[in-house]
Each structure stands twice: as structure tokens, then as C-alpha cells.
Structure 1
Amino acid sequence: MCGIFGYLGPRQATSILLDGLRRLEYRGYDSTGIVVKNGSFEIHKKVGKVGELESILPNNIDGTTGIAHTRWATHGVVSDENAHPHLSAKGKVVIVHNGIIENSRQLRTSLTVQGVDLQSDTDSEALAHVIERELSVDNDPEQAVRRTLRLARGTWGICAMFLEHDVIVCARNGSPLIIGKGDGEMFVSS
């Protein structure tokens, strides 16, 4: 079980994401991570609870879009490398995931054959790379996620951000996700 929280709107995302993580910490406390987008992805992840993550964050992370994650390890040891978010090889896609990708070994093998250098031991990281590959087909984030998840077997709550698109694409299969709509802003949470 893991916790996912996301924000897209006009306000600075970091404090909103950290508050969401604190509320979801019971869903996973092995490691935590956050990514905020402001022209590029600024990713921070750390073994331990949300307080450990906060202790390494810069004072000011600009950006009004972001996703965050608390992890309860199921694949791979507890480490900073295995913490979410996971960035794709070319840096165009970043994801957080809750669930188990049952065919991750096959996906990882296929990616390795294609020359992708995997950075973690998680089942989740493969999704970021496959989404990036699928994005190259038509540059459509929603369709890239759809095509990727057709290849995946298992359960997921997933949120993906895209360097060249101002969206967060979310999907679920067996893992809970809820979307909230505010005044000109959107939230997602597991």
C-alpha cells in the first residue's frame, strides 16, 4: 500500500503536496518523494517519513503542478533510488504508482533490450519508461498512458506528469484514486 497525492492549479504546489503526504503517511512510511514542475521537473525523495523528506527540501521550490508519494516497499529494498517519483530515461515523464505490476519483469527486460538504463529495483519504474516510449507515437499524454496500461498486468493507481504538457494523467485499476475539483485547481489522492 502506498499513498499518492497530486495538485494542479494556480498556487505553489509544494506545501499542498506535503500536507497531502502527511495525511496519507499511514499508507506508507518506508520512503517519501515529491516532484514539482516549473519548466523542468524538480524531484526530491528520501527514505523515511514525510519529516525526513522535508528536512532535505530547499526552502523554495517554485511550481504549481506536482505529485507526491509515500511508499510501503513491495518490490525492491527501501532506498532513495526505489522511492517515488520515477523519471523516464529522457526526462519527459515522471510517475508515482500504488499497486503491483505483475508483469514488471517482462516490461523491465524489454526496456533493457531497448537500451533503457533502469535506476531502481521497483515494478513501478518500468511504467515511466513505457509511457515515454508511447508518448513518442503521437505526443498525446492520455493515449500514451492508456496504451501503456494495456500492456501492464496487475493493480495500479498511477499519476503521470509530462515535461511538455501541463497535465497530470491519472488512472486506476484495483487501487483507489479520487479526484477533487476546486476553484481553478484539481487534486488527486489515494
Structure 2
Amino acid sequence: MPVVRTQRRYVALQAVLVAFVLAIFLYGFWLASENPNFNVFGRALTSEPATQRVVALTFDDGPNPPYTTEIVRWLKAHGAVATFFCVGRAVARYPEIVREEAAAGDAVGNHTWDHAHLLLERPTHQRRELQRTSAAIKVATGAAPTLFRPPFGGRDPEIVSLAGSLGMRTVL
């Protein structure tokens, strides 16, 4: 009887250790996927060489009235431009704001339809998120987006490739 009890404890201890190591590995994998400079998950643009000192202004998750409109007008009044990474359902709801962004010379990028964490979605849903948003942006501005920012920075080589196949460069 004591041998069986000892074996059970040993097996239970092994299971706990395996679960612990797996949890640490998965947590590290998740943290790395959120790091823009960790390219195992797909190469993304984080900076560009410049001949002069510049700052890239980006705004995510809009359009959100009245704030997006105020930002666009402030940028225009100060001779500045930005990139707005728009959520598709908001584009469909407020196309006039997205139109104003483009008319002011700002870039309009794709930020998925529902702000989905794409790493948690199936490939067919990932494609639908990007395609629907690109279509809404094209209806609002007359041009398809060429930039894509994955919500939460979540990407892998397949997501980066998908964005590329839809004519977009992944930007973090």
C-alpha cells in the first residue's frame, strides 16, 4: 500500500511540474507576441529611417465622435498629419469622420472590424475582420487602406501574410 501511495504522489508531482513549466512557457510566448521587436510572430513595421527628425502620430480604435473630429482639425490647423487605425464597425457608423481624416491628408489604416484579438480567432474570421474593415474604409474614403495594425499587437506570420495578401503592411 505505501508503494502505491508514493507512486501516486510522484505522478501527481510530475503533473504539477509539467503544468507549471507549460504555464510559464505559454505566458512567455504570449508576452513575446505582444513585443513589437520580437519578429518570430511576424515582421511588422515599428520605425522607418528618416533624413530629418520626425515623429509618427497614430491613433487607434476610432473614429470616436467628437474626439476624432477635434484631433483631425487640430492636426490640420497645425500643419501636422497622423495615421488613424480605424475599427470597421465604427467606420461603418461614422463614415463622414473617416472621410474627413482622409481629406485632411491623414492616413487611414485597418484595425479590424470588432477590435478582435486575431491570435484567438480562426483564419476565416481573421480574413473577414480585415476584409470587412478594408471595404468600409474604401467606401468612406474611396481608397483601400495600405496599413494594418493588429489590436493588442497580436500577430503571427499568418496574420502578417494575410494583411500583405490584402495589400496592407503590418504596423505596430
Provide the TM-score with structure 2 as the length reference: 0.31
Normalized against structure 1, the TM-score is what? 0.29
> Higher Cα Rg: structure 1 or 2?
2
The structure carrying a bigger strand percent of its residues is 1
Name whichever structure is richer in helix by fraction.
2
